[in-house]
Chain A
C-alpha cells in the first residue's frame, strides 16, 4: 500500500467551475499535509499546507483535512486554464524529515 494515494485523473472541469482534488494517506502518524502544483516539465511548487482538522483557505484554494478518515482534499474555486497542471499531495510524519508524495492528479481546465 502506498503512503499517499491519489486518483491520477485527468480531471476535466470547465473554466469558472470548482475543481475538487482528493488524497488519502495510510499512516495515522502523519501530521502535516501539503498540496504542490507541478506544471508539465517543471518542478513542484507548494500551494497549500494544512496541519489541523478542518478547512484552510487561501485565495481561490481551500485545503481540507480529516484525520479520522485519513483524507485530504483541495478545492480550487473559479478554476482558470492556468490552473491546468498535476497536483501532488504530500504527507509528513512526526519527525518531519521525510515527506511522501502521491503520484499526482492531472487537472485540465477547459476554456
Chain B
C-alpha cells in the first residue's frame, strides 16, 4: 500500500481481555516500530523489528505485551490480560533502511480498556 496501515483504528475492550493490533508497513520497508502514545505525551518506544526478528524489545512494559512479524512484513502487537492503564494510541511506523530515523507512521490504533 501507499502508507502504513493499522487495524483496527479503534478497539474497546474489557479489563482482562486479549487484544491484537495489526500493522501493515510500507512495501519494501524492512524496519518496523511499535510506539505507544498517551494523551499529551510523545510516542513511547515499545519494540523494533529488522526483518522478521525483534532487534530491540526493551520498551515492552511487561510480559503481557508481545509482538511478532513472522514474514518480515505485517506485524501484530498482542496484549494479554489488558489493564485500564494500557489505554492509549498504539502507533506503528516503518522505515526503509532501519537506521535513517525517517519513520513513516500509520494512523494508529486507539485502545480503550474499560
Contact = CB atoms under 8 A, between A and B. Distances in A.
A44 B101 CA distance: 13
Given A43-B91, A43-B105, A43-B108, A101 B42 contact: yes
Given A8-B40, A103-B40, A43 B106 contact: yes
Nearest to A96: B99
Contacts of B14: none
Contacts of B104: 46
Contacts of B42: 4, 6, 88, 90, 101-104
Interface in B75-114: 91, 98-108
A32 B101 contact: yes
A73 interface: no
Interface residues of A, number: 23
Contacts of B70: none
Contacts of A102: 42
A48 B44 CA distance: 20
B96 to A, nearest CB: 12
A97 B48 contact: yes
A96 B101 contact: yes
Interface in A39-95: 42-46, 49, 88, 90, 92
Interface of B: 31, 33, 35, 40-45, 48, 50, 55-56, 58-59, 91, 98-108
Closest 6 pairs between A and B when the two form their complex, measured CB to CB: A101-B42, A96-B99, A43-B105, A92-B101, A32-B101, A103-B42
